[in-house]
Amino acid sequence: MIGNEAMARGLVENGCSMALSYPGTPASEILPGVVKWKTELSLPIHIQWAINEKIAFEIAYAGSIAGLRTVVSMKQVGLNVASDPLMSAAYMGSKGGFIVISADDPGPHSSQTEQDSRLMAMFAKVPVLDPASPEQAKEFVGLAYKLSEAFEVPVMLRPTTRVCHGGQDVELKDVKPSDRAAAFKRDPARWAATPKFRYLLHSKLNEKLSAIAANEDTKPRLLNPDTVSSTAVITSGVAVAHTQEIMADLGLLNSVALYQVSQPFPLHSAFIEEILGKYERILVIEESAPVIEMQIADRHKVKGRLNGAIPAAGELLPEVIEGILSKFCAISQPELNIPTTVGRKPSLCAGCPHRASFFAIKRAVPGAIYTSDIGCYTLGLNLGAIDTALCMGASISQAAGFYQAFKLSGKDTDIVATIGDSTFFHAGVPALIDAVVQDARFVLVVLDNSTTAMTGNQPTPATGIDACGNPRASISIEGLVKSCGVKFCRVGDPYNMPRFTKLLKSAHRHSLEKGLAVVISRRPCLVDKRVKEVKRERIDVAVSSACDGCSYCIKQFECPAIEFDQAGKRARINQLMCSGCGICIHVCPKKAIEKVEVQ
Amino acid sequence: MYPCLPEEGDRKGRGAVNSSSEKQQILISGVGGQGILFITRLLAEAAIYKGLPVLTAETHGMAQRGGIVMSHLKVGGFSSPLIRPGKADVLLLLHEENLKGHLYYLAHGGIVIANSVLRPDGTEAAKVISIDAASLAKKIQQPKSANLILTGFALSSLSRIGNRPYCSPADIRAVLCQKMAGRDKILRASLDAFDLGMLRGQEAKI
Ligand code: SF4
Ligand code: SF4
C-alpha cells in the first residue's frame, strides 16, 4: 500500500475516533484510506472532509479535548490555513491523542511552495515525527498517539511526497476500535485561557518540550552500530532511505556512522552532545529546511544546508544525495548527464468544462486582468486566461485589490476572477463579502464542476454527500452568493458556448455600471465517477477542408484532442482522446471544425 | 469465476526469496491517463504475491492531467523508493516521446520496452524491443488497455533474452484475478489484453 493508505491503517489500528481533512496533494488519500477500513470493519469513526484546514483542525482538536484519539490531515500549504489554531493548541495541549499530519512536497511536484512543516512545528513548539517509508509512517502513527497522550501535546507527523505516494509491502496489525466515550472537564484557565494564563501554559509547554527532547521512544537511531568512525551522517525522512541505499552501494556503511532522526524537533539534547563529542565531521541531510541542523548549535563540525553542502532548493533526489555524499567522503564520481528536456505540460482534459469557460471569458472580456486560484483550473494558464494564482481564495481578493489600485489611479480596467467551487467554499466566501462591502467591481466566475477535481474528486459542501458517501445537506452556491449581497448572480452552462459568452458579456456590463457580478459556470467534471452515469449527447467533430492551418484552435483553445497534422498542414482531431463535447465547433474562426455523424 | 489461479503450492512464502537475481529496478514512463499507476500496482502486487519486498514511487496531482507520469518500481532488498540514473534494468515506455527525457535512468545493458510503431529515435545506445500496443489496443476495442498489452509483451520478451523478470505471466494473471474478483467482464478483458501482449512477446523479433 502507499504511505497514505499505510497511515490510514495505522490510524484505525490505534483507535482513532475522528479523522478530518481538506483534500490536497500529496495528503489526499489518507482520509479515503480511513473510510475504507471504517466501511469494511464497521468502525465507529467520524470521518469528514471539512470546508478548509482550519476548520478541520478545530473539529479534530475538540475531539481530542473530549478525550478521543483524533487526527487532522492536510498538505503543507493547508497547514498555513490551520496555523492559527495550531499555535494556540500547542499552548493548551491535548487530552486524547491528537495528530496533525502535514504532508510536504519538496520538488515541488504539485504545490505552490516547498515549505517544511517541521519548521512550523518548531514555530508552534510541538514535536514532529519524520517517517522514512510507508511502513514507518504507519508505525509512527502509534508512536505519535503515545507521545501526544504522554505529554498532552499535539504531535505533528510530517511525511513527504515520496512517503505519501511511495508504495511498500506493509504488515498489518490488529485493528482496535476505540472504546472511549467523549467527556469534557471544564477548565477555563486552560481551554479559554486569557493572556496571563497563556504565559503559564507557555512555560508548561517549554517544560514538556525539554522532557520530549529526552523521550526514549523517539530518540535518534544509529543504523550501523558496528561501525567505528569519526564521521557521521545524520538524516531524517525519506532521505534516510536514499542515503542508506547509496552508502551501501558506495561501501560507506562500515566506515561512516549513519543516524536516523525520527523526531527532528525537539532534537534530543543528549544526542546533540553525543555526536559533537564523538565525531570530527558531521553531515546533515534533511528535507527541506535545516531544522535538525539549526538545533546543533556548535557549528564548526557540521555541514549541511546552512553552509551550502546541500542545495537550498529542490527535492533531495537520490542522485543529488549521491553527489553530496561523494563530495563529503571524497569519493570521485562520474559526472551525471541528465537531460533537461522540457516534457509535456499538464493540460486540462479533452472536453473539460473549464476550458470552455476560459475560452468564453477571453472572448467576452478580452484583455482583462484575469485573477485565478488553486485547482485543476490553474491549467487555464495554458490558454492565456490566467494572470495570477497566489493561494486558496486569492482570486477574489486580488481582483478587489486590482480594482482599488486602478480606481485610485483614475484608470479603468476590466477584471475577471475565476475560482473553483471547492476553493470558493474554502476561502472565497469572506473575500466575496469583503468585495461587496467595499464595492469592488469585477466579474467573478465560479467554475462549478460539483467536485474537488484536482485531488481526486472529493465532495464539496454543495455536493450533498459526505466522505463515506452518505447523503448530507447541500449548500447552494447561488444562494450563498446572493446572501453575500451580490445583485447579479446567474448560472450558465459553458458547453453552450454562444449563450454562455453572452451571459459573461452582460455580467461584464453590470460590473462596470453597477457593481460586482457573479456567473456560476456549471457543468460536472468529466472524470468525476459520480456523474459519469449521466448520459450526455456525444457530438462527434471533424476538421473540414476549410481549415487553413492557422493553428488558432491549438494555441487559443489547446484541447489535447486537437493536433496539428504536419503532413496535411492542418488541424486534426485525435478521435481516441476526443470526448465529444463539441465546443471546438465554436472556436475555429474559419468554421472548419464541424459536427459529423459517425456510424 | 474465470479460472486462472495457479495451484496453492505455486506461491512462495513472504521473504522466502531474495537472491540478487530477483533484485530488479523498473521505470515505467508515460503520460496522464495511460494507466501507469494501474500497472505499477499490478507489478508491485505480483512481487508481494511472490513474497518479495517491493518499493514504488508514483506520480499524483497536477501531472496526472495529461503531464508526464513516471513510476519507480524496485523489487528485492532496497531501501529507497527512487531509482537513480543509470540503475534501471528495464524502462517500460508507454509514451515514446518520454524516451529522451528518461533514457538516462537506464543501466548499462538495460532494456527498453516501448509502445511504439518503430524503434524510437535516440535509442542507438540501448537494446530496444517495441510493440505497437496502442494500435493493438484499438484493434481489440479496448483503447485503454495498451498498458496491459505492453506489460504482457515485456514479461514474455524479457524472459526470452535471458533477462528473467521477477515474476512470470502466470503471476500477473493470478494477481489480476485477485484484484478483479467478482468483476468478470473487466477481468476477462484485462486478461485478453495481457495475453495478447504476452503472445506477441513470444513471437517478437529480438
Ligand atoms: S481548425 Fe480552424 S482554427 Fe484550427 S488550424 Fe484549422 S483553420 Fe485554424
Ligand atoms: S469535441 Fe473538440 S473540444 Fe471537445 S474534446 Fe473533442 S476535440 Fe476537444
What's the CA gap between A294 and A280, in Å, rounded?
18
What's the CA gap between A210 and A412, in Å, rounded?
59
Residue numbers in B near A242 (CB within 8 A): 79-80, 82
DSSP annotation of B172: H
Cα dihedral sign, A219-A220-A221-A227 = negative
Beta carbons of B101 and A339 less than 8 Å apart: yes
- Counting from 1 in the atom list of ligand 2, the atom nearest the Cα of A593 is 2
Select from B193, B175, B134, B186 the least CA-distant residue to B4. B175
pLDDT attached to residue B18:
34
Q: Are A598 and A578 in contact (CB under 8 A)?
A: no
A359, A541, A544, A553: residue to mutate for ligand 1 pocket, most atoms within 8 A of CB: A553
CATH class of A541-595: alpha beta
A223 lies within 8 A of chain B by CB: no
Chain centre to alpha carbon of residue B190: 14
DSSP bridge partners of A416: A370, A443
End-to-end CA distance of chain A: 44
A353-522: CATH topology is Rossmann fold (3.40.50)
With a pLDDT cut of 70, the percent of chain B lying above it is 83
Residue B97 pLDDT > 80: yes
Query: Does A579 contact ligand 2 (Cβ within 6 A)?
Result: yes
Name the A residues in 321-380 with CB < 8 Å from any B CB. 322, 336-339, 341, 343-349, 376, 379
A219-328: CATH topology is Rossmann fold (3.40.50)
Domain boundaries, chain A: 3-212, 219-328, 353-522, 541-595
Residue B86 pLDDT > 60: yes
pLDDT attached to residue A332:
81
Q: What is the pTM of this model?
A: 0.91
Name the A residues in 469-528 with CB < 8 Å from any B CB. none
pLDDT attached to residue B64:
64
Residue numbers in B near A252 (CB within 8 A): none
**Is residue A558 left, alpha or beta, with left meaning phi > 0 and alpha meaning psi from -120 to 50?**
left
Beta carbons of A241 and B80 less than 8 Å apart: yes
Residue numbers in B near A341 (CB within 8 A): 100-101
What's the CA gap between A270 and A282, in Å, rounded?
16
With a pLDDT cut of 90, the percent of chain B lying above it is 41
Query: Would you call A72 helix, strand, or coil by DSSP?
Result: strand
Q: What average pLDDT does the structure give for chain B?
A: 82
What's the CA gap between B147 and B198, in Å, rounded?
12
What's the CA gap between A166 and B93, in Å, rounded?
20
Residue whose C-alpha cell is 490510524: A11
DSSP bridge partners of A593: A543
Strand segments, DSSP code E, in A458-546 are: 488-492, 517-522, 541-543
A547, A553, A562: residue to mutate for ligand 2 pocket, most atoms within 8 A of CB: A562
The CATH architecture assigned to A3-212 reads 3-Layer(aba) Sandwich (3.40)
Give distance in angstroms: CA of A562 to centre of ligand 1.
10
Q: Is the peptide bond before A266 cis (omega within 30 degrees of 0)?
A: yes
pLDDT attached to residue B3:
39
Element (H, E) at B43: helix B36-49
**Is residue A234 left, alpha or beta, with left meaning phi > 0 and alpha meaning psi from -120 to 50?**
beta
pLDDT attached to residue A449:
87
Residue numbers in A near B31 (CB within 8 A): 344
Q: Which long-range contacts (CB under 8 A, 24 or more apart) does A190-198 make?
A: A190/A92, A190/A93, A191/A65, A191/A92, A193/A91, A193/A92, A198/A91
Say whether A541-595 and A219-328 share the same fold. no
- Counting from 1 in the atom list of ligand 2, the atom nearest the Cα of A562 is 7
- Counting from 1 in the atom list of ligand 2, the atom nearest the Cα of A581 is 4
pLDDT attached to residue B62:
65
Q: Which long-range contacts (CB under 8 A, 24 or more apart) does B38-43 make?
A: B38/B147, B39/B71, B39/B92, B39/B147, B39/B148, B39/B150, B39/B151, B40/A167, B40/B71, B40/B73, B41/A167, B42/B151, B42/B172, B42/B175, B42/B176, B42/B179, B43/B73, B43/B151, B43/B167, B43/B172
DSSP annotation of A424: I
Interval B60-74 mean pLDDT: 79
- Counting from 1 in the atom list of ligand 2, the atom nearest the Cα of A579 is 5
Residue B5 pLDDT > 50: no
Query: Does A541 contact ligand 2 (Cβ within 6 A)?
Result: yes
Query: Does A462 contact ligand 2 (Cβ within 6 A)?
Result: no
Select from A348, A347, A359, A349 the least CA-distant residue to A496. A359
Select from A351, A318, A389, A366 the least CA-distant residue to A106. A318
A352, A556, A578: residue to mutate for ligand 2 pocket, most atoms within 8 A of CB: A578
Give distance in angstroms: CA of B64 to centre of ligand 2.
19
What's the CA gap between A23 and A4, in Å, rounded?
12
The half-sphere exposure of B154 on its side-chain side, counting CA atoms within 13 A, is: 29
Interface size, chain A vs chain B, as Cβ–Cβ contacts under 8 Å: 124
Residue numbers in B near A28 (CB within 8 A): 60
The per-residue b/e assignment along B47-79, b for 16 or more CB within 10 angstroms, e otherwise, is bbbbbbbbbbbbbbbbbbbbbbbbbbbbbbebb
Nearest CA in chain A to B40: A167
Q: Delineate the domains of chain B, giving CATH numbers in brackets.
A: 24-203 (3.40.920.10)
pLDDT attached to residue B1:
34
pLDDT attached to residue B9:
37
Please write the tens of the pLDDT for every residue from B21-42.
569 999 999 887 788 999 999 9
User: Which of B80, B102, B104, B145 is the best residue to mutate to test the A interface, defined by the most A CB atoms within 10 Å of its own CB?
Assistant: B80
Beta carbons of B40 and A167 less than 8 Å apart: yes
Residues belonging to chain B with any Cβ–Cβ distance to chain A shorter than 8 Å? 14, 31-33, 40-41, 44, 47-48, 53-68, 78-86, 95, 97-98, 100-101, 103-104, 138, 143
pLDDT attached to residue A465:
87
Task: Provide the residue-wise pLDDT of chain A in tens; the chain has 599 residues.
Answer: 999 999 999 999 999 999 999 999 999 999 999 999 999 999 999 999 999 999 999 999 999 999 999 999 999 999 999 999 999 999 999 999 999 999 999 988 888 889 999 999 999 999 999 999 999 999 999 999 999 999 999 999 999 999 999 999 999 999 988 999 999 999 999 999 988 899 999 999 999 999 999 999 999 999 999 998 999 999 999 999 999 999 999 999 999 999 999 999 999 999 999 999 999 999 999 999 999 999 998 888 999 988 888 888 889 999 999 999 999 988 887 776 777 655 667 889 889 999 999 999 999 999 999 999 998 888 899 999 999 999 999 999 999 999 999 999 998 899 999 999 999 999 999 999 999 999 999 999 999 988 888 887 888 888 888 999 899 989 999 999 999 999 999 999 999 999 999 999 999 999 999 999 999 999 988 877 666 556 678 899 999 999 999 999 999 999 989 999 988 899 999 887 888 999 999 999 999 999 998 75
Beta carbons of A346 and B60 less than 8 Å apart: no
Q: Are A15 and A174 in contact (CB under 8 A)?
A: no
Give distance in angstroms: CA of A565 to centre of ligand 1.
11
Beta carbons of B82 and A242 less than 8 Å apart: yes
pLDDT attached to residue A426:
95
What's the CA gap between A347 and A376, in Å, rounded?
9
Chain centre to alpha carbon of residue B89: 12
Res. B148 pLDDT band, cuts 50 70 90: very high
Residue numbers in A near B44 (CB within 8 A): 167
Select from A458, A490, A489 the least CA-distant residue to A472. A458
Residue B126 pLDDT > 80: no
Beta carbons of B62 and A346 less than 8 Å apart: yes
Kindly list the distances between the CA atom of residue A552 and the CA atoms of A224, A382, A571, B14, in Å, as whole numbers in the listed order.
62, 13, 9, 58
What's the CA gap between A247 and A255, in Å, rounded?
10
Beta carbons of B67 and A343 less than 8 Å apart: yes
What's the CA gap between B69 and B128, in Å, rounded?
21
Residue numbers in B near A107 (CB within 8 A): none
